[in-house]
Amino acid sequence: MHIDILTVLPELLESPLSHSIMKRAQDKGLLTVSLHALRKWAVNEYGQIDDYQFGGGAGMVMMPEPLANAIEELSASRTYDQIIYLTPDGQTLNQGIANRLSMADNLLMICGHYKGIDERIRQKYVTMEISIGDYVLSGGELAAAVLVDCIGRLIPGVLNDETSALFDSFQDNLLAPPVYTRPSDFRGMIVPDVLLSGDPKKIEAWRYEEAVKRTRERRPDLEAE
Ligand code: ADE
């Protein structure tokens, strides 16, 4: 998969995408991510990419020209499965959306800043609008980092243990069960016997029960879905 990210602040994305599983995905050649500084397409030599909003009001709006020129230039060498705008008024990201996006070949992500991007860019180019939750970030960069991470780890071959993503929270609308490691007795707190039993069937049944219990207690809305 290849992901292009358009941003005014590429530096903000460099670190989250260069470690751990994201690094492994790129080292294995399963994922490539290119960060594109929007100022490259600025409208003048001062690097202008934003302007005051029509109708007045605080906050700048990202101008349509630099975005349109950037999107058109990038689209000339790739056919994007989706052009995604990260925005608090988009559809809320969940595991189902991540699963679907992990099957794409090419994605373009647009990070908004200030008051956001000119509406006409959303209408003409954007095919999907994603929010990472009901709160407002200073820009779309951290949201894009979250989106790349949760998609990237689902690309087949990225995780070492192919099955491990299947047991993540949310994959079956269930939260993950509790996990334990050594020692089996930590300051008098004992690991459930079943996990030491060596009986895979019993362990699987226990994990499922615990997942259901945890989901009912913490996120009954998931079970209803
Ligand atoms: N940009 C600002 N806030 C955001 C959010 N919650 N999700 C996605 N993009 C954003």
Pocket test for ligand 1, best of 8, 9, 87 (most atoms within 8 A of CB): 87
Instruction: Give the orientation angle of helix 20-27 with respect to helix 141-152, to 10 degrees.
Output: 60
**Residue 126 sits in the same domain as residue 193:** no
Exposure string for 37-46, b = 16+ CB within 10 A, e = fewer: bbeebbeeee
Decide if 65 contacts 117 (C-beta within 8 A): no
pLDDT above 70 as % of the chain: 98
How much is the average pLDDT of 141-164? Answer: 90
Ligand 1 atom closest to 135 (CA): 6
pLDDT of 6 reads: 98
How much is the average pLDDT of 85-97? Answer: 97
Q: Tokens 């995780």 appear where?
A: 159
Cα 95 to ligand 1 centre (Å): 17
* Residue ending a domain, choose from 152, 183, 203: 152
Instruction: Give the pTM.
Output: 0.94
**How many structural domains is the chain composed of?**
2
Distance CA 121, CA 132 (A): 20
**Residue 126 sits in the same domain as residue 179:** no
pLDDT of 168 reads: 81
Decide if 81 contacts 105 (C-beta within 8 A): yes
**Residue 118 sits in the same domain as residue 194:** no
Per-residue pLDDT band for 162 (boundaries 50, 70, 90) equals low
